[in-house]
């Protein structure tokens, strides 16, 4: 593998069409599909068009990176062995654990080597329609709105091939797809589970661990045994051995003469990296990638004066060690490309537009970025985005832009002040509500209306229309609720009146009966007294 410089290797949409029959791939799209032949062509195409660093910095490893992806070989073996025995595999873990890299650069290529065809979701809007659009574009199938998920997926299978369907970063499905469409998709997924065997079709989900509970709750509503029938893996940080392989082995295939002092790796670098991990257990892949990328770039700069460079403790200390590299990399990048406060504010605004308040990154189009910064020229934004892309802070996917890794989200999120956070939450609520309204007619609830009103004073005509409709519906619901409450209250009051009246009548009746009984007893006593008196008089005479 020829690596002439540590320049960017982001895939920006090259297409490999009609490889191995009707299986093709559109790199960078919402869906990618292929087989062993396709992956081989991707790697060759990438080598022809791009030069690459042995490290990915903050970009995820992709299909084309299988030859530089190290550290997870034992887990890849285990996962590949589970696939034929389980219809579903769930891989969850913390943000930055390397779930996407594991699947895309490790597991999918291994399964392709074993004869599998793969279909992989990269982003989610409406999964069933995304599959239809992909198949229509790449396979020339007749468009049919009635085709089920099972029927759509089966178009990817050849007669004897096994198929694996990958839902990568599935938290985006839970965040970005409306509840109605999520339910429809899960019901369609159930049909796939009911009508296929593990030997012919498998499903792999990757998602952040904090979304696992929501996923299971929604799936088990339709598939009560979903978790019990799935193989689940909680992806942990890299062990010492895994991290050592990930550091040293990517350099072995380089033609440039850069290598590590392995004693330095064992005694200093690994210790420095593990110290940056919470609880000091294992090594986070993003930490490793950032530090090793910076070490490699510094070593590469020295190649002009030296025929060979060894990455050692001296170079490491010149950069300040792992902690200094990690704490300053994003700030230094922003400082380099935006040296004035005005420019810094623009870069911050661009990056803030690329995250959601829930703590995930999102892809944003250039027009949307320009709407977030209407006072700036579009060409100025393009230039800044390109500089961020060159530094691997931003990645490009089908003319949309996002942070290159979830690892940076928390740092960017810290740049929001309270007012900006309220506005961003309102914006996200409005965008999702508009999409749901257009597809299903669903309106906002009272909390959502309040959030939007507080955060977004200026709305478009259609946004105002949706809020007015929502407010009218809420007022109608309120009137119905108030009428129901009034009816219930009246019913309760009537019941109380009847109960009290019945109690009063019962008491009066009881008093009357008591009076009559006392009167009768009195009369009886008088009668007995009179009789006694008469008897006495008879005795005297």
Of residues 293 and 253, the one with the higher pLDDT is: 293
- The pLDDT assigned to 16 comes to 25
Per-residue model confidence as pLDDT tens digits over 115-127:
888 888 877 877 7
Q: 């609520």: which residue's tokens?
A: 429
- Tokens matching residue 533: 């008196």
- The pLDDT assigned to 429 comes to 82
pLDDT for 154 beyond 80? no
Q: 311 forms bridges with which residues in the sheet?
A: 260
Cβ within 8 Å of residue 274, ≥6 positions away? 240, 280, 281, 282, 283
pLDDT for 25 beyond 70? no
Give the chain's mean pLDDT.
81
Q: Quote the pTM value.
A: 0.66
pLDDT for 495 beyond 70? yes
148: confidence class by pLDDT, cuts 50, 70, 90: confident
- The pLDDT assigned to 487 comes to 86
What does the alpha-carbon distance between residue 85 and residue 367 come to, in Å, rounded to a whole number?
46
Of residues 385 and 433, the one with the higher pLDDT is: 385
- Tokens matching residue 339: 């040296």
- The pLDDT assigned to 271 comes to 94
- The pLDDT assigned to 227 comes to 92
- C-beta of residue 124 within 8 angstroms of C-beta of residue 174: no
pLDDT for 500 beyond 60? yes
What does the alpha-carbon distance between residue 403 and residue 330 come to, in Å, rounded to a whole number?
11
Of residues 390 and 145, the one with the higher pLDDT is: 390
Longest dimension (CA), the chain: 159
Least confident of 40-54, 264-278, 426-440: 40-54
pLDDT for 302 beyond 80? yes
pLDDT for 15 beyond 50? no
Per residue, what are the HEC states of 105-171?
A: HHHHHHHHHCCEEEEEECCCCCHHHHHHHHHHHHHCCCCCCCCCHHHHHHCCCCCCCEEEEEECCCH
Query: Cα–chain-centroid distance for residue 31?
Result: 16
pLDDT for 160 beyond 60? no
The CATH superfamily of 15-236 is P-loop containing nucleotide triphosphate hydrolases (3.40.50.300)
- C-beta of residue 440 within 8 angstroms of C-beta of residue 178: yes
What does the alpha-carbon distance between residue 477 and residue 483 come to, in Å, rounded to a whole number?
10
pLDDT for 278 beyond 70? no
8: confidence class by pLDDT, cuts 50, 70, 90: very low
Phi, psi of 402 (to 5 degrees): -155, 165
Per-residue model confidence as pLDDT tens digits over 73-106:
999 999 999 999 999 999 999 888 899 999 999 9
CATH class of 334-416: mainly alpha
Least confident of 14-23, 63-72, 92-101, 486-495: 14-23
Of residues 266 and 394, the one with the higher pLDDT is: 266
Quote the DSSP letter at residue 269. I
Per-residue model confidence as pLDDT tens digits over 60-73:
888 888 889 999 99
What does the alpha-carbon distance between residue 147 and residue 232 come to, in Å, rounded to a whole number?
30
- C-beta of residue 114 within 8 angstroms of C-beta of residue 202: no
Q: 208 forms bridges with which residues in the sheet?
A: 93
Residue 227: how many CB atoms within 10 A of its CB? 15
Buried b (16+ CB within 10 A) or exposed e, 323-360: eebbeebbeebbeebbeeeeeeebbebbbbbbbbbeeb
Domain boundaries, the chain: 15-236, 241-319, 334-416, 418-483
Per-residue model confidence as pLDDT tens digits over 439-456:
778 888 888 878 887 777
What does the alpha-carbon distance between residue 60 and residue 532 come to, in Å, rounded to a whole number?
117
Q: If 0-12 CB within 10 Å is exposed, 13-18 middle and 19+ buried, where does residue 517 land? A: exposed
pLDDT for 142 beyond 70? no
- The pLDDT assigned to 72 comes to 96
- The pLDDT assigned to 166 comes to 92
Task: Count the alpha carbons within 13 Å of 143 in the hemisphere toward its beta carbon.
Answer: 6
pLDDT for 48 beyond 70? no
The CA R_g of the chain, rounded to the nearest whole Å, is 36
- The pLDDT assigned to 28 comes to 37
Per-residue model confidence as pLDDT tens digits over 220-267:
999 999 999 899 999 999 999 999 999 999 998 788 889 999 999 999
- The pLDDT assigned to 304 comes to 76
What does the alpha-carbon distance between residue 54 and residue 433 come to, in Å, rounded to a whole number?
43
Per-residue model confidence as pLDDT tens digits over 506-539:
777 777 777 777 766 666 676 666 676 676 666 6
């Amino acid at each position: 593998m020829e690596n002439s410089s540590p320049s960017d290797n982001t895939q920006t949409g090259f297409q490999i069409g009609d490889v191995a029959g009707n299986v093709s791939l559109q790199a960078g799209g919402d869906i990618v599909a292929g087989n062993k032949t396709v992956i081989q062509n991707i790697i060759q195409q990438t080598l022809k068009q791009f030069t690459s660093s042995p490290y990915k910095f903050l970009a995820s490893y992709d299909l084309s990176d299988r030859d530089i992806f190290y550290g997870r070989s034992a887990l890849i073996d285990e996962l590949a062995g589970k696939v034929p025995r389980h219809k579903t595999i769930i891989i969850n873990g913390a943000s930055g654990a390397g779930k996407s890299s594991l699947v895309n650069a490790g597991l999918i290529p291994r399964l392709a080597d074993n004869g599998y065809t793969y279909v992989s979701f990269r982003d989610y809007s409406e999964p069933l329609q995304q599959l239809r659009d992909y198949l229509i574009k790449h396979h020339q199938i007749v468009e049919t709105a009635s085709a089920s998920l099972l029927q759509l997926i089966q178009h990817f299978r050849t007669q004897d091939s096994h198929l694996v369907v990958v839902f990568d970063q599935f938290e985006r499905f839970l965040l970005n797809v409306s509840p109605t469409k999520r339910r429809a998709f899960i019901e369609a997924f159930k049909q796939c589970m009911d009508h296929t065997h593990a030997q012919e079709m498998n499903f792999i989900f990757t998602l952040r661990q904090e979304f696992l509970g929501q996923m299971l709750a929604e799936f088990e509503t339709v598939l009560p045994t979903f978790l019990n029938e799935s193989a689940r893996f909680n992806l942990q940080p890299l062990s010492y051995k895994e991290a050592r392989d990930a550091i040293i082995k990517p350099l072995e295939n380089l033609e440039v003469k850069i290598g590590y002092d392995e004693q330095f790796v064992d005694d200093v670098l690994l210790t420095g990296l593990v110290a940056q991990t919470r609880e000091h257990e294992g090594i986070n892949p993003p930490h490793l990638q950032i530090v090793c990328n910076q070490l490699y770039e510094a070593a590469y700069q020295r190649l002009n004066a030296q025929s060979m460079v060894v990455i050692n403790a001296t170079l490491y200390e010149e950069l300040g060690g792992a902690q200094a590299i990690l704490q300053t990399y994003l700030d230094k990048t922003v400082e380099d490309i935006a040296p004035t406060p005005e420019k810094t504010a623009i870069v911050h605004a661009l990056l803030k537009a690329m995250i959601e308040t829930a703590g995930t990154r999102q892809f944003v189009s250039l027009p949307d970025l320009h709407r977030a910064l209407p006072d700036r020229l579009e060409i100025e934004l393009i230039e800044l985005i390109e500089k961020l892309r060159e530094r691997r802070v931003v990645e490009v996917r089908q003319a949309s832009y996002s942070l290159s890794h979830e690892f940076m989200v928390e740092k960017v999120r810290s740049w929001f002040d309270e007012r900006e956070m309220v506005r961003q939450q309102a914006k996200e609520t409005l965008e999702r509500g508009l999409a749901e309204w257009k597809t299903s007619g669903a309106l906002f609830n009272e909390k959502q209306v309040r959030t939007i009103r507080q955060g977004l004073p200026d709305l478009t005509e259609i946004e105002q229309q949706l809020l007015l409709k929502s407010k009218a519906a809420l007022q109608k619901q309120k009137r119905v609720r108030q009428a129901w409450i009034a009816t219930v209250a009246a019913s309760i009051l009537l019941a109380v009146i009847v109960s009290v009246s019945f109690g009063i009548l019962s008491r009066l009746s009881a008093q009357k009966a008591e009076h009559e009984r006392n009167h009768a007893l009195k009369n009886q006593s008088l009668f007995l007294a009179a009789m006694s008196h008469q008897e006495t008089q008879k005795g005297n005479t």
